[in-house]
Structure 1
Amino acid sequence: MAQYRRGLRLIRTKPEESRYDFTLYLRHFFRHPSMGGGLSKRDFTTVEYMMRRADKMLQDIFANPSARRVRLGAGVLDEMHKLGLAHRRRTSSS
């Protein structure tokens, strides 16, 4: 959970127009079944591997100031819509 929160905080440093894409990428990485979402808590080896992989991804993509845009393929977006992971957050009009 700490890595996911760290990723959400790092998204705030990205340009406004690309934050949604970064959010989808983060959701896909942490929640999609093909990327390790739904792992058993007792599968220690895989969990440790995914934690190292998430650290590297956060460092290379999210913490890198030159990374301004990220995109997922259309097939991945369709899968995320089916899983309910690709939806826009509602914003309140002030």
Structure 2
Amino acid sequence: MRRSGLQRDVLALYRRALRMVKTKPQSTQHKFLLFVRYTFHQNATSILPRDVSAIEHLLRKGTRQLEIYEDPGVKDCFVSRDMLDWHEQWRKASH
């Protein structure tokens, strides 16, 4: 399947975020992974695929945020109640 440049950029950012998760302490990797999955899912469902300017904006915002989380000094992240609830629903739907 051929992908547009924007699709490739989003996938590249997602892969980069998943690689960042592996650099974090084992005890907090699950929180970072949940944060990444939830954020990408929420953004993907909140905008239309043809809204290029919104996607570009989210790519820039996500890149800046990822650069902060890639810092070796960042060892933990905040996981909200919404993220945990979403994760529970996702787990139930996939089983």
Q: TM-score by structure 2 length?
A: 0.76
1:49 aligns with 2:62: no
Q: Contact 1:27 / 1:85 at 8 angstroms: preserved in 2?
A: no
Partner of 1:9: 19
Query: In 1, Cα distance between the equivalents of 2:51 and 2:82?
Result: 28
Instruction: Assess, with a 3 A threshold, how the Cα gap between structure 1 residues 85 and 31 changes in structure 2: closer, same or farther.
Output: farther
Instruction: Assess, with a 3 A threshold, how the Cα gap between structure 1 residues 56 and 81 changes in structure 2: closer, same or farther.
Output: same
Q: Contact 2:34 / 2:83 at 8 angstroms: preserved in 1?
A: no
Query: In 2, Cα distance between the equivalents of 1:9 and 1:44?
Result: 26
Aligned length, in residue pairs:
81
Percent of aligned pairs with the same residue?
A: 26
- List per-residue Cα deviations over 1:3-51 (Å, max 9, x = no partner): 000011111111111100000010111012xxx2223221011011100
Partner of 2:41: 31
Q: CA deviation at 1:85?
A: 6.4
- Find 1:20's aligned residue among 30, 55, 61: 30
SS of structure 2 residue aligned to 1:37: helix
Higher helix share: 2
